[in-house]
Amino acid sequence: MSDFARQQAEFQRGILDGDDTVLAEILDSQREKRETLFGVYRYAYGSRLVEAMRNDHELLHLYLGDEMFDEMGYAYVKARPSAHPNLRWFSHGLPEFLKSAKPYSDHPVLSDLAALEKALNDAFDAAESKVVELADMARFAPEAWSGLRFQPHPSAFRLDLATNAAAIWLALKNDETPADATALEQPAHLLIWRQDVTPMFRELAAEEAMMWDEAANGIPFGVLCEMLATYDEPDGAAGRGAGYLHGWITAGLLTDVSVGS
């Protein structure tokens, strides 16, 4: 290892781990001791990353308050140092961290709230793609419909939540007092996407969530309707399937519809 590489490794350990080895090669200034001057870098590291987390998770910050959010943020910074050159992706692992690290894992609403905010952030700057319009569907003959396959817009993302985090998110967004966190008997099925430039989400019924997931997997419309028939009134399955499809198209959720495999 070169001298330069060794010095950088020690400088980095000094910031990340509090190791003082590098101080032996740093000078006091005329006015200040080296410990204080190096401390500028130590302080900036954590505070910059926690600030990035606050920007990415405004409502989780609001929910926890400054003190608890910062405590959680510094714990995340310590546990998961950034590996990506772009700060935009630093807090990507936060939902998983909150789900697995004590004491946060004792409060599953935190992980759910973080996951919802992450999904909305991801939808905001997801890739561009064309959007299927209702008029586009007219080119398919009625007999072709059972073979239609659907491609979701790149911004679309499905998320299941175990808690009432979506209701808490809405309350916080509207400056209302959120309800107490509760575990749901059945998971809430959310669909998150970007309509023009605005990230959106809505909750899906269990059968629509199933239909979306399977459509995204390439299952054709005819089979999707058969699958819907197992969820509710079989005779109305095709109508319900057509209704869900209509909703997806008008919301800009599909980027392509095609016939065949």
Partner 1 sequence: MNIASRLPDTSAAALADRPVTSAKPPFLGFGLGLRHQHYDEILSGNPPIDWFEVISENYMLPGGQPLRTLDRICERYPVVMHGVSMSIASTAPPNFEYLQALKDLARRVEPKWVSDHLCWTGVHGKNLHDLLPIPYTREALDHVVSRVQLVQDFLGRAIVLENVSTYVQFSNSEMTEWEFLSELSRRSGCWLLFDINNVYVSAFNHGYDPMTFLNGIPADRVVQFHMAGHSHMGTHIIDTHDHPVCEDVWDLYAAALRRFGRVSTMIERDDNIPPLDELLLEVARTREMAEKILPRCTQAE
Binding site for partner 1 (CB under 8 A): 2-5, 7-9, 11-12, 15-16, 25-27, 29-32, 34, 36-38, 40-41, 44-45, 48-49, 52, 81-88, 90, 124-128, 154-155, 194, 197
Pairing of strands 198-204, 254-259: unpaired
Q: Nearest 5 degrees, angle CA 114-CA 40-CA 76?
A: 20
CB of 91 to partner 1, least distance (A): 12
Q: Which is nearer to partner 1, 199 or 220 (CB)?
A: 199
157-163: strand order across its sheet: 157-163, 183-195, 198-204
* Number of neighbouring beta carbons within 10 Å of residue 16: 14
If the CB atoms of residues 36 and 250 are measured against partner 1, the closer one turns out to be 36
What's the closest the beta carbon of residue 105 comes to partner 1, in angstroms?
25
Minimum CB separation of residue 89 from partner 1 in Å reads 10
3 state DSSP class of 127: coil
Cβ at position 108, least distance to partner 1 in Å: 29
Which of 42, 45, 117 shows the shortest CA–CA distance to 81? Answer: 45
Query: Which of residues 126 and 229 has its CB atom nearest to partner 1 in the complex?
Result: 126
Closest CB to partner 1 among residues 77, 110: 77
| Distance between start and end Cα atoms, the chain | 55
